[in-house]
């Protein structure tokens, strides 16, 4: 996860799109993977710790990213089913799970972040929440493809 945080904070900003600098959240992809493999508790704790690290690195509101990542990690733990987790991770269902967790993560993060600003909730959804969630879900396709190729060999 530390490697994902470093890549997120250094290289991913080069992939920013739209005038609002929307970037994919690769830390969230790794967090959802952990939550699906280990369960709600590991997802929550992992999300809180990684979020706190990201908060300290980015000098943002301390605890806001920890809260949103812990929420997403807990949500991803709901998809932790011993019988189905491998099937989820090896199919495009993983991308849909990433999309759902990313929407929840972004709603928690951006509604608190923009609290007190003139932005309406609908503006936050359209400018930040949905574009970031879709971009993150598109990036989640790559681990699925890699996993499938690995499984075929």
In this predicted structure, what is the pLDDT of residue 152? 60
Angle between helices 130-139 and 93-113 (to 10 degrees): 150
Could you tell me the fold of the domain covering 26-152?
Arp2/3 complex 21 kDa subunit ARPC3 (1.10.1760)
In this predicted structure, what is the pLDDT of residue 150? 66
The domain segmentation of the chain, as residue ranges, is: 26-152
In this predicted structure, what is the pLDDT of residue 19? 80
Question: pLDDT, tens digit, for every residue of 84-131?
Answer: 777 888 888 999 999 999 999 999 999 999 999 999 999 999 999 999
Question: pLDDT, tens digit, for every residue of 36-93?
Answer: 999 999 999 999 999 999 999 988 889 999 999 999 999 999 998 877 777 888 888 9
pLDDT class for 151, splitting at 50, 70, 90?
A: low
CA dihedral 105→111→114→117, nearest 10 degrees, is: 170
Using alpha carbons, select from 76, 62, 44, 71 the residue that is nearest to residue 113: 62
């Amino acid at each position: 996860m530390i490697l994902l945080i470093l890549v997120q904070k250094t290289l991913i900003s080069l992939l920013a799109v739209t005038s609002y600098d929307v970037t994919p959240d690769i830390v969230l992809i790794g967090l959802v993977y952990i939550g699906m493999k280990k369960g709600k508790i590991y997802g929550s704790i992992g999300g809180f710790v990684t979020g706190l690290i990201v908060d300290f690195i980015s000098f943002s509101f301390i605890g806001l990213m920890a809260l949103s990542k812990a929420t997403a990690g807990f949500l991803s733990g709901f998809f932790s089913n011993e019988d189905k987790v491998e099937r989820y991770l090896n199919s495009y269902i993983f991308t849909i799970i990433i999309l759902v967790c990313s929407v929840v993560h972004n709603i928690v993060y951006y509604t608190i972040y923009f609290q007190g600003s003139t932005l309406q909730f609908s503006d936050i959804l359209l400018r930040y929440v949905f574009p970031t969630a879709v971009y993150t879900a598109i990036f989640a396709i790559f681990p699925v493809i890699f996993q499938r190729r690995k499984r075929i060999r």
